[in-house]
Structures are given as structure tokens and as C-alpha cells.
């Protein structure tokens, strides 16, 4: 890492970039009116800036990981909800289809009471579907 030392108003200022790889996150600015920054100081500050950059990047990665986990759980909940809704819709549809299919059978002589029972089942299940989607 490159650091820069300047003298302003008889104070020494050290500026060290905080980077992760080539991505610049900010800068560490040091002000010391009493002394000049030497090579050892610059190395120490550069190491601190590197550690700060890594900590910031770890925090960013943790947040991204948390967001990815939230999205994964949201997708799981959405799939579970769709499965439940699909099941709730299929059950009355199956009853409607079975009753309608029975009524259409021409090789069976249904009594009036049986035909009314099939028609009632169709009507009740259609009302049930209507309540589900309303």
C-alpha cells in the first residue's frame, strides 16, 4: 500500500488508502503535530489499513450471505405456499371432475337421487373453490 505524508500548518498528516484488492474503500488519515512519520510508522499504518479493509470486506460478505439466505428461505416459503394452495385447489377440482365424469357415464343408469347427489357435490365443491380464490 502506498501512503502519503504531508506537512500542513506545522502538523504532520499521514494518508493511507484502505483497499481490498483494487477496490478502494476509503482512507486512513493520521494527524500528529509532534513528529514526522517514518517508514516504520507508515508500515504499521498500512498494516492497520489493510486489516480495516479486510474487516469491512468480511462485513460486506456476511451481509451478502445473510441476504442470500433470506432469499433462499423466501423461495422455500413461496414454494411451500404454492404447494399448499395447489393442493387446496386440486382437492375440490378432483371431486368436481369425479362427479361430472360419473354423470356423463352412459353405461350406468343413475337414479334421480344419485344424479342430484353428483350435482350437489359439483355445486358444493365449486363454491368451495370460489371461497378459496375470493
pLDDT at position 1: 39
Question: Distance (Å, rounded) from C-alpha 46 to C-alpha 15?
Answer: 9
Question: For each of the chain's 134 residues, which pLDDT tens digit applies?
Answer: 345 555 455 557 778 899 988 899 899 888 876 777 778 888 888 899 999 999 999 999 999 999 999 999 999 999 999 999 898 899 999 999 999 999 999 899 999 999 999 999 999 999 999 998 88
pLDDT at position 13: 78
- Give the domain extent around 74: 4-133
pLDDT at position 40: 84
Give the DSSP letter string of 73-99. HHHHHHHHHHHHHHHHHHHHHHHHHHH
Residue 93, SS3 per DSSP: helix
Grid coordinates belonging to 100: 361430472
Grid coordinates belonging to 10: 506545522
Residue 23, SS3 per DSSP: strand
Domains: count for the chain = 1
Task: Supply the CATH number for residue 106's domain.
Answer: 1.10.287.130
pLDDT at position 33: 65
Is the pTM of the predicted complex or chain greater than 0.75?
no
pLDDT at position 45: 86
Question: Distance (Å, rounded) from C-alpha 99 to C-alpha 109?
Answer: 14
Strand arrangement of the beta sheet that strand 23-32 belongs to:
4-8, 11-20, 23-32
Amino acid at each position: 500500500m502506498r501512503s502519503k505524508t504531508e506537512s500542513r500548518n506545522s502538523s504532520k498528516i499521514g494518508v493511507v488508502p484502505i483497499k481490498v484488492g483494487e477496490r478502494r474503500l476509503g482512507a486512513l488519515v493520521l494527524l500528529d503535530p509532534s513528529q514526522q512519520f517514518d517508514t516504520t510508522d507508515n508500515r504499521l499504518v498500512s498494516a492497520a489499513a489493510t486489516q480495516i479493509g479486510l474487516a469491512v470486506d468480511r462485513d460486506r460478505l456476511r451481509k451478502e450471505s445473510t441476504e442470500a439466505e433470506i432469499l433462499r428461505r423466501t423461495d422455500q416459503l413461496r414454494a411451500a405456499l404454492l404447494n399448499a394452495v395447489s393442493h387446496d385447489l386440486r382437492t375440490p377440482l378432483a371431486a368436481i371432475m369425479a362427479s361430472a365424469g360419473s354423470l356423463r357415464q352412459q353405461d350406468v343408469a343413475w337414479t334421480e337421487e344419485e344424479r342430484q347427489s353428483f350435482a350437489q357435490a359439483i355445486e358444493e365443491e365449486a363454491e368451495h373453490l370460489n371461497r378459496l380464490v375470493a
